[in-house]
């Protein structure tokens, strides 16, 4: 009889939870979107009326499109068809607002902007927040450390979009130091040239700063609290009694023991960071997935909204799953679970 190790059981459980969560989350999104009052074709007809197009022609046009997109069928049949297209053909459908462009193509145009912005912001805020939080916790008896913690605790509660609005008002419209919208100047030619790269950096500075500041302060507060609990551990007192240098104790004993809980916190917070970044993108009219998602709600583009949310959930849940797989490398005790 083959004996399954505790670590293998750990991996199987994580994969099963990942699969079930992804399926249930997507199912919930599908049905919730259908609860929004109205439908995309009613809004389309309203636009045709504004253009003074014959209502009879518009009705025939709409009925044809409803049949083409399967929206003339009952909602349960739509759900089954969408699941089969998604999981059997890996097809997200056609964007209603951008017909006849497939949803995958529309998302891929915006996805690189969001990935670039989020990847940089998450790495910077997480890394600096842990180092700064550990240092402030280590020096918790100083007045400067206490003052910095108090300021960080208050400012960390500011939502991303409020920080974005403040930065636009002060640095964009107040002092005119940075652009307040879009991802690059329309006067430059997109490509791997210095003018375009500098324009992207300049336009992306405020969106990135609004995410980094709030996230960094949040990591600083949580890391400082964890550091305070580690300071009373016996192994740290023993290391201090041996005469180890303070900087070595901070690096080797404090920071190393902060990695596992803060890596867990990073995985858990990814969904919150992504959702907050989407709102920031819309405020700055940054051409990322967040701006695209809000436009899809405006036009009730079911396929596009479902596609964006599915890609977002898949990315966040996959990042959590990868983090779960990395736990045994960070903490070897995980490999012995179940033995």
Please tell me the distance from the alpha carbon of residue 86 to that of residue 112, in angstroms, as a whole number.
22
CB contact at 8 A, 133 and 265: no
Report domain extents, the chain. 106-299
- For residue 53, the 8-state DSSP code is -
Q: What pLDDT score does 338 carry?
A: 47
Of the candidates 250, 233, 261, 242, the one whose C-alpha atom is nearest the C-alpha of residue 330 is 261
Decide which of 2.40.37.10, 3.20.20.10, 1.10.3720.10, 3.30.70.260 is the CATH code for 106-299.
1.10.3720.10
Can you give the pTM of this predicted structure?
Answer: 0.80
| Residue 306 dihedral angles phi and psi, to the nearest 5° | -65, -40
Q: What is the dihedral of CA 309, 314, 319, 321, to 10 degrees?
A: 140
The pLDDT value given to residue 168 = 92
Copy the structure tokens of residue 184.
Answer: 């690059």
Cα separations in angstroms, 108 against 112, 215, 275:
7, 26, 18
Q: Taking the CA of residue 39 as centre, how many other CA atoms within 13 Å lie in the half-sphere pointing to its CB?
A: 12
Helix (H, G, I), strand (E, B) or coil at 180: coil
More confident residue, 285 or 257: 285
pLDDT tens-digit series, residues 234-250: 777 777 777 777 777 77
pLDDT category of residue 1 using cuts at 50, 70 and 90: very low
Q: Is 112 helix (H, G, I), strand (E, B) or coil?
A: helix
């Amino acid at each position: 009889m083959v004996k399954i190790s505790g670590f293998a059981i750990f991996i199987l459980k994580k994969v099963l939870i990942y699969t079930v969560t992804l399926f249930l989350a997507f199912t919930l999104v599908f049905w919730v979107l259908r609860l929004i009052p109205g439908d995309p074709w009613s809004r389309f007809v309203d636009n045709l009326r504004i253009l003074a197009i014959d209502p009879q022609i518009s009705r025939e046009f709409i009925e044809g499109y409803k049949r083409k997109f399967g929206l003339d069928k009952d909602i349960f049949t739509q759900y089954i068809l969408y699941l089969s297209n998604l999981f059997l053909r890996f097809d997200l459908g056609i964007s209603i607002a951008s017909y006849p462009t497939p949803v995958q193509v529309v998302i891929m145009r915006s996805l690189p902007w969001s990935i670039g912005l989020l990847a940089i912001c998450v790495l910077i805020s997480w890394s600096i927040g842990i180092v700064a939080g550990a240092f402030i916790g280590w020096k918790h008896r100083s007045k400067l450390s206490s003052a910095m913690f108090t300021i960080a605790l208050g400012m960390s509660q500011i939502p991303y979009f409020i920080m974005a609005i403040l930065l636009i008002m002060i640095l964009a419209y107040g002092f005119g130091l940075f652009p307040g919208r879009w991802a690059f100047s329309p006067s430059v030619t997109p490509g791997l040239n210095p003018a375009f790269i500098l324009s992207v950096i300049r336009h992306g500075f405020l969106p990135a700063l609004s995410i980094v500041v709030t996230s960094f302060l949040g990591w600083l507060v949580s890391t400082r609290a964890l550091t305070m609990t580690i300071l009373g551990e016996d192994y740290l007192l023993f290391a201090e009694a041996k005469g180890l240098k303070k900087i070595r104790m901070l690096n080797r004993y404090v920071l190393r023991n902060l990695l596992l809980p803060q890596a867990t916190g990073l995985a858990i917070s990814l969904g919150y960071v992504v959702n907050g970044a989407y709102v920031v993108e819309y405020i700055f009219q940054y051409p990322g997935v967040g701006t695209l998602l809000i436009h899809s709600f405006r036009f009730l583009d079911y396929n596009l909204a479902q596609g964006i949310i599915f890609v977002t959930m898949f990315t966040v849940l996959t990042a959590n799953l990868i983090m779960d797989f990395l736990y045994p490398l960070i903490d070897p005790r995980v490999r012995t679970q179940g033995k």
